[in-house]
Amino acid sequence: MKISPSILNCDYTDLRAVMRFLEDLHPDMIHLDVMDGVFVPNLSFGPPVIEALRPLTDLPFDVHLMMQHPDRLIDAFAKAGADSINIHVESDAPIDETLQHILDLGKKAAITIKPKTPVEAAFPYLDKVSMVLVMSVEPGFGGQSFMHDMMPKVTALKEEIRRRGLSTIVQVDGGVDAATAPICAEAGADCVVVGSAIFKTDDPVGLVSIVHGN
């Protein structure tokens, strides 16, 4: 699997050091959780922080918009340096139009489903997105416990993607660590977001190695 470390629970007093730490782990991308305090009960950061981080690494930025109206700031996130822009199917954005806008800006489009959302809600957009993110916790805060019952969604998505002959990847975010990453892989996940675990473990290199299947 690919790994996308989330900086949600990092040390924000020294983001340069955080970027160096992550680069040394050789991840596939960096996950940036943007929360608006409305769609989820937490507030994080926006385009200015992403713009400040962009010169610090060449790793792709996997930007996850946990926002009620993500369509209003797509241009700003693209300009700030996002490589992939991910919106929630449950948001109030016009989903098709917003995904097309992301693509028109030359960025990869992605979509997320929350735990209570049926997996079929993502099916209409599989032809347009590069990635579907299955949340294995309720979005909003890091450090939550992994929801094992989300794994059938991952398997169902992989089966639908294969049936259509698409290259869309399936990502899992929430409670992923050394113990749950293999469960995600077994379900068919192509990529996992690792947040709290990567900053709290004594062996981050070992954790990345587990995710990568080494």
pLDDT at 98 over 90: yes
- Mean pLDDT for the stretch of residues 70-79: 98
Do residues 208 and 26 make contact, with C-beta atoms less than 8 angstroms apart?
yes
> Which of 36, 71, 173, 177 is the catalytic position?
173
Highest mean pLDDT among 5-14, 64-73, 141-150, 192-201: 64-73
Q: What is the CATH number of domain 2-212?
A: 3.20.20.70
The mean pLDDT value of the chain amounts to 95
Torsion sign over Cα 181, 169, 25, 47: negative
pLDDT at 142 over 90: no
Do residues 78 and 41 make contact, with C-beta atoms less than 8 angstroms apart?
no
The token pair that represents 123 in the structure block: 């099916």
Q: What is this structure's pTM? A: 0.94
- Concerning whether 14 is annotated as a catalytic residue, the answer is no
Backbone angles phi, psi at 185, to 5 degrees: -65, -45
Distance in angstroms (rounded) separating the CA atoms of residues 87 and 77: 12
Q: What is the structure's pLDDT at 46?
A: 96
Residue of 133, 154, 136, 153 lying closest to 145 (CA atoms): 136
> Which of 33, 36, 71, 190 is the catalytic position?
33
Confidence of residue 138 (pLDDT cuts 50, 70, 90): confident
Do residues 69 and 102 make contact, with C-beta atoms less than 8 angstroms apart?
no
Domain ranges of the chain: 2-212
Given the DSSP bridges, would you call strands 169-173 and 2-5 parallel, antiparallel or unpaired?
A: unpaired
**pLDDT tens figures, 6-50:** 999 899 999 999 999 999 999 999 999 999 999 999 999 999 999
Backbone angles phi, psi at 18, to 5 degrees: -60, -45
Distance in angstroms (rounded) separating the CA atoms of residues 33 and 10: 12
Q: What is the structure's pLDDT at 143?
A: 64
Q: What is the structure's pLDDT at 139?
A: 80
Confidence of residue 116 (pLDDT cuts 50, 70, 90): very high
Q: What is the structure's pLDDT at 171?
A: 98
- Mean pLDDT for the stretch of residues 78-96: 98
- Mean pLDDT for the stretch of residues 178-192: 97
- Concerning whether 173 is annotated as a catalytic residue, the answer is yes
**pLDDT tens figures, 186-213:** 999 999 999 989 998 889 999 999 999 8
Distance in angstroms (rounded) separating the CA atoms of residues 208 and 186: 17
pLDDT at 214 over 90: no
